[in-house]
Chain A
């Protein structure tokens, strides 16, 4: 690994460390209803929005009502997106005349589920499929809303720890409005202007055709890119305006922007660890969670960067340097590409500035494993913190088993109910990933009957596939172990609400659109519901004072226990599958075998 690579990782991490406390303090004030420096400028927007919602600013919901609000809002907004996508041919801001031919029902379902759940898996190629209005309204609104909802759930769970003998865990509506108005809007507005300044387009022009220097024709996809790009990163959404996502020079034109993008991915998730510490009355608790996340991030980044730099021995045999530049951009080079891949999968972002499918086997294992840990390494906005707190509950439970006394976390007794709910969330995620992968690795649809009836869509004209029938492994871009990795990555990404892909898989078929769509809904909502149940249960409990026997959760021992729990749960669950995919492929590569 080169010195420059180490510096890029460490300076980036330093920047994240630098923004954690200011953003964390700011968010703690916002969600406790205190005044900040932005309230004089934006208070009117919060107040008028709450009036429009007919919600009082001191509204307080018990957990099931909080959950119902989240589900209701997600259902309504997902339906609106589905409708806009299907109707895009009749709606304005559509200079390229995209219609329903590009957006069949199964793709519209997958896409609206994808954006509602903060996943942003895209089984289509945006510049061949979507009108500008679809991008702005059907999709980008979820980049805001799902991020705000994620923050809201995390804050609700923190309130569960911070409050005692309380009925409610806050108001979903108030939290979402405050997250959007005070956190997402101001940062996104400034960020979008920086992006345009640096070369990210923001226009409504039709695609532009020019004659190149050698006299050929080149057509450029256009659109309002900057306004979507900024919230795509800040909200850890990851859905690209273009197929190539953040590797496209119009989305990510230079290394300054690239650095800004990865800092934006981690900014809110890192800040939330501080918010958490502040709200539970001991910032060391927040830093302990931050430390556990940092250990896992640094380990992943260093492995991924060094694997990609070590590269592919199959190249060296042909007199080519080994460093793996397949599917990477020259301006970023290998370290900034591998770092981006680590960050985007630590968080539930899923934006890519290089093609993970072409990574070396172990370099590609890092993003895959990151997703399978449940994306708790800083994680998605909100999702990372509530996911890590779920692991913290398991960790103190394991710690309690070892010393034989009832575990406590943040002054709350962790009892059967909390552990059951946390385990339920973990098991649902694992089941969704592994069972769907097993299904897709074995399914085979007959050429006549139901399978053939579904095959009415000429998908190849729009970057999809025609073969709705046949073996589902027929949609893979690569054979053997790597082909299996493509399927495993798809359902890990869907269930984990990440959205990145081993993109060689042609997922734009009825089977994949429906199953991945389901995996995304399961991964989002069947994780949030048990966690909100925990929040509600904890809020009702009394605070127990710390005694000499209390296991301290703000020190090094706890950090080690937490890191160990995350790795152990992830490894025990996914090691067999990972062995069949990336590990087998690694030995094929070092043995100079091709498939």
Chain B
């Protein structure tokens, strides 16, 4: 390095303290933070944590991959616990995440939208909290006076929420037990086994992993 040249006295070197470094710094960030850093993390991750690094996929009873333990998937059959409604694509589309972004005062959110008969190719219908609450009660044989947990009738932020609340699982457990010919206690035991506790007992809410729970049900007793 040339120590005799002081940047503040030479106009030529003053210019070079902006132009060349601006280019060189950009190249440096591209190489070091844009390529070397992610590739280094990739290399270590693939060796140390290959399962997590590749999507935390889980296997079903016959050994095939049935989904990711981190990502919710749709269930509609009576013998399975059902996830929350989803706004990701046409529902639990893990390549198109997102929420409804509807306001708390949105008429669409609360009262839903019917399909417009004029546009036959497009389905504008949208189930609002009102319709979702009716459907949840009917599905699970609940009276209209049963107060529903909010997560059962609202859509998550990601549309891929893998969890339901414990209260939601409790309300579904009767239906699942009947469909499988299991006792409600057996089902509730599995619900407890598949509940992720809050971090350090404080952070977050207890949450029931729906895919884990349904896999556990299938392992215990086929319907």
Give A residues with C-beta under 8 Å from B.
4, 7-8, 11, 49, 51-56, 59-62, 65, 68-69, 72-73, 75-77, 80, 125, 127-128, 136-137, 140-141, 143-145, 167-168, 171, 173, 176, 180, 185, 188-189, 192-193, 196-205, 207-208, 210-214, 216, 218-222, 224, 226-228, 231, 242-244, 247-250, 253-256, 258-259, 311-312, 314-315, 318-334, 336-337, 352-355, 357-361, 463, 477-482, 502-504, 585, 588-589, 593-595
Chain A hits for B93, CB < 8 A? 218-219
Whose C-beta in chain B lies nearest to the C-beta of A145?
B29
What is the total number of residues of chain B having a CB less than 8 Å from a CB of chain A? 113
* Also in contact, A255 and B198, with CB within 8 A (given A201-B53, A326-B104, A331-B205): yes
Q: Are A329 and B105 in contact (CB under 8 A)?
A: no
Q: Are A200 and B52 in contact (CB under 8 A)?
A: yes
Of all A-B residue pairs in the complex, the 3 with the closest CB atoms, nearest first, are A333-B205, A247-B157, A504-B101
Closest chain-B Cβ to A103's Cβ sits at a distance in Å of: 17
Q: What CA separation (Å) do A359 and B149 show in the bound complex?
A: 17
B161 CB contact (under 8 Å) in A80, A242, A330: A330
Chain A hits for B76, CB < 8 A? 214
Within 8 A of A (CB), among B83-132: 84, 88, 92-107, 109-111, 129-130
Whose C-beta in chain A lies nearest to the C-beta of B106?
A478
Listed A/B pairs (15) with beta-carbon separation below 8 Å = A4-B202, A69-B22, A136-B35, A189-B41, A202-B42, A224-B38, A224-B41, A242-B97, A248-B97, A249-B158, A249-B160, A329-B163, A330-B164, A355-B100, A594-B105
Q: What CA separation (Å) do A105 and B191 show in the bound complex?
A: 51
* Also in contact, A327 and B155, with CB within 8 A (given A249-B162, A477-B102, A589-B104): yes
Give B residues with C-beta under 8 Å from A.
1, 3, 7-8, 14, 16-26, 28-30, 32-35, 37-38, 40-42, 44-46, 48-49, 52-57, 60, 64-68, 70-77, 80, 84, 88, 92-107, 109-111, 129-130, 133, 144-165, 196, 198-199, 202-205, 207-208, 211, 214-215, 218
Chain B hits for A228, CB < 8 A? 38
* Also in contact, A213 and B52, with CB within 8 A (given A328-B157, A330-B207, A355-B99): no
* Also in contact, A185 and B37, with CB within 8 A (given A144-B29, A247-B99, A355-B101): yes
Chain A hits for B149, CB < 8 A? 320-321
* Also in contact, A330 and B156, with CB within 8 A (given A180-B33, A210-B57, A321-B150): yes
Q: Are A214 and B77 in contact (CB under 8 A)?
A: yes
Q: Are B103 and A585 in contact (CB under 8 A)?
A: yes
Closest chain-A Cβ to B159's Cβ sits at a distance in Å of: 7
Q: Are A255 and B218 in contact (CB under 8 A)?
A: no
Q: What CA separation (Å) do A585 and B218 show in the bound complex?
A: 47
Q: Are B55 and A359 in contact (CB under 8 A)?
A: no
Q: Are B21 and A188 in contact (CB under 8 A)?
A: no
Closest chain-B Cβ to A580's Cβ sits at a distance in Å of: 14
Whose C-beta in chain A lies nearest to the C-beta of B92?
A218
* Also in contact, A52 and B24, with CB within 8 A (given A213-B80, A325-B154): yes
A-B contact count (CB 8 A): 403
Contacts A249-B71, A336-B205 aside, 18 further interface pairs with beta carbons under 8 A come to A56-B3, A69-B22, A140-B33, A141-B26, A189-B40, A212-B74, A224-B41, A249-B162, A258-B199, A314-B129, A321-B147, A323-B150, A327-B101, A330-B84, A332-B205, A352-B157, A478-B105, A595-B107
Q: Are B66 and A203 in contact (CB under 8 A)?
A: no
Q: What CA separation (Å) do A358 and B214 show in the bound complex?
A: 30
Q: Are A326 and B80 in contact (CB under 8 A)?
A: no
Chain B hits for A69, CB < 8 A? 17-18, 21-22
A210 CB contact (under 8 Å) in B14, B22, B65, B147: B65
